[in-house]
Structure 1
């Protein structure tokens, strides 16, 4: 198995144990993130079926879901039926030795019935950090409702603003509510562990309630700030930025490209590269960012007329050399072939006992001393049953 880190065998979270009883994406992504940083992650799965994402596809790779493979490396799979007393006892023994317990059941009362609720779990191990990921959280009038990523995208207000003016709502092509909840869960777990273990810390774990809806709403950020300031609903603007111009895709001779002119200094430099420093740069309609926003419909065709003289790649090279942010609009296959990603080691190859080499995307955190490592392939269902049972028996 190939190690994508440069940590010399030392991992930031080495010695930390995470018990993950989640499925789909938010919880598995959180657990994988902690696993990349060195934690020992034990993935609890239903006997015979496991994580629902194992069946999501196509595509499948020799029967394994590509979706599942993408977010489950650095884990050990342990099949347990928590409705069976003997299996529940094994899970309780794991929790007694664990640092973090991840769940994604929307109803805590259902966990109470199988004695996996926060009170019971932390009664077994007061140092345990219990992370509960759900669609709407465990407080409020919608607590307990089921919620997938798509529900959170719609409820959070972002789908309604995505797409061109006059068009219908558009879902983001990857499950960003799941990803954001997973990342916030990992951050929260690490913060709770630090609060437990720091000098003068409590020595005890705590309960974390992370909702997909809350995690997605935080991404409204500047849009919420605009609403708080004006009381007006932000408009749907397609690829245009609500407060910066030009900061959008523009058409060059052969294809679209992106230009991000975020300051007045960059605006003048952009005009110099385009050869319009004496015209557009000094045009009173475009003199300031506020005026460029106001006259955007007039400015964009003028810029595209200049960009039409050359291909996008040539403009991107020249603009980048001048310090002006510019880039291509890639399809995923083009992105994954980009020399920059390969130089940054953003594609990891893992040796799988049945599938051969499995490629996954690396953890994006580059650390000088305790880099992420890639020690385990995404596990087959129940692959580590005997290994973990032996550990519990010792």
Structure 2
């Protein structure tokens, strides 16, 4: 992988216009997040960046589990927590204390437009804080339930984490290289994808409520998200009955569409159609490959995958990465050097888009929400809260004091 030399954080100033979340399209909306780990917190952070007031409710003993998922740590909490909880308020509630549960119930009924939760199934109902309890008191409330394996079926009570669903939804079976052990996608793609479905459902419910004034009980789960990520592989299997092996960096359906080694680094080449394949082989000086009638179509190239891949590998092995990328750019062939995490952090494209920006009272650059409105990226300017930092004075004595 290619690493771009380190720059100071002062050099990561964005070219895109960044605006405070207080000006965002969801200003005036209040969301209560009864969540932990990744899925609900990421959904809450997206909503906070878009302008919603997000009140994060945590256990007074230890708070969100992710606070302890380190090292590394930043400001007393694991960086995974710091990265997923920007722009929120933190209050602590012990559900088992009737007075505290009652105050949380009142907060939701009086102030919340929506609730996002990913706690254990039926846990909140034990304390009169479930969807039916609260929506009966406030029919306009939008409730978003993020589950593990869905609300019905034989696995509905089973606890779930991202890697469990990567395994059970088939994602691991198509990730990695053929005839080698299964590989997990290196980021929490199921958790974060589920968070986005939750946000989509919540936004749709907000639009619907403008018409009829009614709330909605939205449901999504890690397993449903995992199966949704498998849309294309499942379609291929159900059409043919064929179980395709993992393709490493490549694609089962498109050739050439993978990473190739050069003399000084690796490059991803995506020749996604016949025209691009012709441009690719011409740029690499192997135009005779395109003269082979069996290789003129993608179907033929998939059939003769080894011939195509091995020929390109041999041509690129002794050429510098920079020369390869320049030749492919000139020919109009989609390509990208393979960057590591440091390379992405220091990329001029990352900088231009303003994707890494520290909060106002902090120095750690954090990834912004990947959406703009009229060329403006909204993001919350306050860092992840300390446990119970926003506990109001009138909360019960059993709730922990605000963090320093």
- TM-score tier, shorter chain, comes to over 0.9
Give TM-score, length-normalised by structure 2: 0.90
> Is the aligned partner of 1:280 residue 2:289?
yes
Judged with a 3 Å threshold, the aligned counterparts in structure 2 of structure 1 residues 339 and 387 are, in CA distance, closer, same or farther, namely: farther
> Is the aligned partner of 1:295 residue 2:309?
no
Q: Say whether the 8 Å CA contact 1:95–1:124 is kept in structure 2.
A: no
SS in 1 for 2:299: helix
Deviation track 1:108-128 (CA, whole Å, cap 9, x = no partner) reads 2x3211011111010121111
SS in 1 for 2:242: coil
Judged with a 3 Å threshold, the aligned counterparts in structure 2 of structure 1 residues 9 and 89 are, in CA distance, closer, same or farther, namely: closer
SS in 2 for 1:174: coil
Judged with a 3 Å threshold, the aligned counterparts in structure 2 of structure 1 residues 98 and 62 are, in CA distance, closer, same or farther, namely: closer
SS in 2 for 1:372: strand
Cα drift, residue 369 of structure 1: 6.7
Give structure 1 stretches of 5+ with no counterpart: none
Q: Show the counterpart of 1:207.
A: 217
Judged with a 3 Å threshold, the aligned counterparts in structure 2 of structure 1 residues 247 and 185 are, in CA distance, closer, same or farther, namely: same
> Is the aligned partner of 1:43 residue 2:56?
yes
Q: Say whether the 8 Å CA contact 1:19–1:95 is kept in structure 2.
A: yes
Q: Show the counterpart of 1:78.
A: 91
Cα distance in 1, alignment partners of residues 301 and 34 from structure 2: 51
Cα distance in 2, alignment partners of residues 370 and 140 from structure 1: 43
Q: 1:165 aligns with which of 178, 181, 196?
A: 178
Deviation track 1:96-148 (CA, whole Å, cap 9, x = no partner) reads 1211101112312x321101111101012111111111111221221121111
Structure 2 matches for 1:101-250, cutoff 5 A?
101-108=115-122, 110-197=123-210, 201-250=211-260
Q: Show the counterpart of 2:373.
A: 367
Judged with a 3 Å threshold, the aligned counterparts in structure 2 of structure 1 residues 225 and 8 are, in CA distance, closer, same or farther, namely: closer
Q: Show the counterpart of 2:9.
A: none
Cα distance in 1, alignment partners of residues 303 and 364 from structure 2: 50
Cα drift, residue 370 of structure 1: 6.2
Deviation track 1:336-394 (CA, whole Å, cap 9, x = no partner) reads 11011000001011144xxx42221111102117642223210011111127859xxxx
Q: Show the counterpart of 1:89.
A: 102
Deviates more, 1:173-182 or 1:17-26: 173-182
Judged with a 3 Å threshold, the aligned counterparts in structure 2 of structure 1 residues 250 and 276 are, in CA distance, closer, same or farther, namely: same
Q: Say whether the 8 Å CA contact 2:20–2:380 is kept in structure 1.
A: no
Cα distance in 1, alignment partners of residues 256 and 156 from structure 2: 42
Q: Show the counterpart of 2:281.
A: 271
SS in 2 for 1:208: strand
Q: Show the counterpart of 1:383.
A: 389
Q: Show the counterpart of 2:4.
A: none
Cα distance in 2, alignment partners of residues 301 and 210 from structure 1: 43
Q: Say whether the 8 Å CA contact 2:30–2:54 is kept in structure 1.
A: yes
Cα distance in 2, alignment partners of residues 79 and 98 from structure 1: 17
Cα distance in 2, alignment partners of residues 159 and 55 from structure 1: 27
> Is the aligned partner of 1:357 residue 2:363?
yes
RMSD: 2.0
Q: 1:308 aligns with which of 305, 317, 323?
A: 317
Deviates more, 1:174-183 or 1:316-325: 316-325
